[in-house]
């Protein structure tokens, strides 16, 4: 190789290196590559809202499909079959209403008499109420009495309370 070819080759290397260096520093190639966004519920909901779409769970979708299939089958039936099916549905609804009425009559709230004696603490009273089924938790009711200063005003005597009464109503009944 002669001297001129070697000089031309090295000059080409210098020019190409300088062009690559300028492109690198002026082209924002030194910034970190932005990671692809992670898909979140919030981003999905925003997308759906922007495009006037809704999200449906698999269960709801399956229910919709089964409902749709039954409607299509009903359209293919004769009007007499549709009337019979409608009558049967009405009878089922009436039976359910009667059962609900019977259940409501059976679950009438009966008053319970609570006898508070001298020397009993509010925790004793709470335990009696819990055992009678008036309240679910004796400790919660006792904390309620203390928090609202009813624990100082509980009276001695016999009181009638009913299941379903609020803590406030029970406390008022016991402090009269």
Q: What is the pLDDT of residues 108-126, one digit of tens each?
A: 667 888 888 888 888 888 8
Helical H segments across the chain, by residue range:
3-26, 41-50, 58-76, 79-106, 122-132, 138-147, 167-174
The whole-angstrom separation of Cα 38 and Cα 151 is 55
For residue 84, tell me if it sits in a domain: no
For residue 65, tell me if it sits in a domain: no
CATH label of the domain that carries residue 128: 3.30.1490.480
Domain count for the chain, please give it.
1
Q: What is the pLDDT of residues 87-99, one digit of tens each?
A: 777 777 777 767 7
For residue 159, tell me if it sits in a domain: yes
Q: What is the pLDDT of residues 17-54, one digit of tens each?
A: 999 998 888 876 655 655 566 778 888 888 888 988 88
Q: Band of the pLDDT at 79, cuts 50, 70, 90?
A: low
The whole-angstrom separation of Cα 171 and Cα 149 is 10
* pTM metric for this prediction: 0.41
pLDDT at residue 25 in the model: 82
The whole-angstrom separation of Cα 25 and Cα 106 is 85
For residue 5, tell me if it sits in a domain: no
For residue 58, tell me if it sits in a domain: no
Instruction: Provide the residue range defining the domain that includes 150.
Output: 111-174
């Amino acid at each position: 190789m002669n001297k001129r070819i070697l000089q031309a080759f090295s000059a080409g290397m210098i020019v190409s290196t300088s062009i690559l260096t300028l492109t690198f520093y002026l082209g924002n190639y030194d910034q970190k590559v932005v990671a692809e966004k992670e898909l979140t519920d919030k981003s999905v909901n925003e997308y759906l809202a922007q495009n006037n779409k809704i999200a449906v769970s698999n269960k709801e979708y399956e229910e919709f499909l089964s409902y749709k299939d039954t409607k299509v089958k009903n359209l293919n039936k004769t009007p007499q079959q549709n009337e019979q099916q409608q009558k049967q549905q009405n009878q089922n609804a009436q039976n359910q209403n009667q059962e609900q009425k019977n259940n409501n009559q059976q679950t009438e709230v009966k008053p319970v008499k609570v006898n508070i004696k001298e020397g009993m603490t509010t925790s004793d009273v709470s335990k009696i109420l819990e055992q009678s089924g008036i309240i679910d938790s004796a400790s919660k009711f006792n904390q309620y009495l203390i928090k609202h200063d009813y624990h100082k005003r509980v009276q001695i005597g016999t009181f009638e309370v009913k299941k379903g009464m609020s803590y406030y109503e029970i406390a008022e009944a016991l402090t009269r």
